[in-house]
């Protein structure tokens, strides 16, 4: 490339300030960080709505759907995002179900025990309380008694993964910041190379 052509190219590039690209990089980076933080704060807000509904024994499905949709469509709103702890646990709903199961078993067994007493009294009408009735009652309860069913806690835990990049304020801003950084580095390296080339032709 001759000196005249280099001067022509340099005159075209010189009006484009190198620091313009760096300024664009800093600006969009700041907006991107703000957007990513906003995504995280919104996730925390939606998570708190789920937990509040769970504690109040209200409708958890609606806030849970909103949380899932937000986290699946916004970057920096998932597992490793600041204060957002996962998995999301419906602790109170799970505890209520466990307690309800215990009460069901207790009520069922109380009823079966009453039935066992009647059955064994009819079977051994003249027996003493410590006689054959006691083993009869125990056997009846063992055969027909209810046992607690295990409620899998995994059914009440939700772990959502946010995308690495999303087409929102944070995503586009960080994309533009990367673009401006690349242009800044290209412009800087190109300027140094052209200066070196022109100095060789002097």
pLDDT tens-digit series, residues 53-78? 999 999 999 999 999 999 999 998 86
Is residue 19 scored above 90 in pLDDT? no
Q: At residue 2, what are phi and psi to the nearest 5 degrees?
A: -80, 170
pLDDT in tens, 81-92: 455 667 888 999
Q: Which residue has the higher pLDDT, 27 or 160?
A: 27
The domain limits of the chain are 19-86+159-193, 98-155
Q: Element (H or E) spanning 89, and its range?
A: strand 88-89
How many Cα atoms sit within 13 Å of 104 on the Cβ side? Answer: 11
- The pTM assigned to this predicted structure is 0.77
Interatomic CA distance for residues 59 and 62, integer angstroms? 7
Sign of CA dihedral 92, 98, 101, 103: negative
Q: Are 73 and 167 in contact (CB under 8 A)?
A: no
DSSP at 120? H
pLDDT in tens, 135-182: 888 999 999 989 999 999 999 998 888 899 999 999 999 999 999 999
């Amino acid at each position: 490339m001759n000196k005249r052509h280099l001067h022509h190219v340099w005159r075209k590039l010189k009006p484009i300030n190198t620091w313009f690209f760096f300024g664009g990089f800093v600006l969009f980076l700041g907006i991107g960080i703000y957007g990513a933080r906003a995504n995280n704060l919104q996730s925390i807000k939606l998570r708190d709505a789920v937990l509040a509904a769970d504690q109040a024994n209200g409708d958890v499905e609606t806030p849970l759907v909103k949380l899932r949709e937000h986290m699946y469509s916004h970057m920096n709103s998932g597992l490793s995002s600041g204060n957002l702890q996962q998995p999301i646990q419906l602790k109170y709903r799970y505890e209520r179900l466990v307690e309800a199961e215990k009460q069901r078993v207790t009520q069922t067994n109380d009823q079966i025990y009453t039935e066992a007493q009647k059955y064994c009294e009819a079977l051994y009408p003249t027996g003493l309380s410590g006689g054959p009735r006691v083993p009869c009652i125990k056997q009846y309860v063992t055969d027909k008694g209810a046992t607690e069913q295990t409620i899998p806690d995994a059914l009440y835990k939700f772990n959502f993964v946010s995308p690495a990049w999303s087409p929102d304020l944070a995503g586009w801003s960080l994309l533009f910041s990367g673009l401006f950084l690349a242009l800044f580095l290209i412009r800087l390296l190109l300027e140094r190379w052209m200066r070196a080339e022109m100095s060789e032709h002097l």
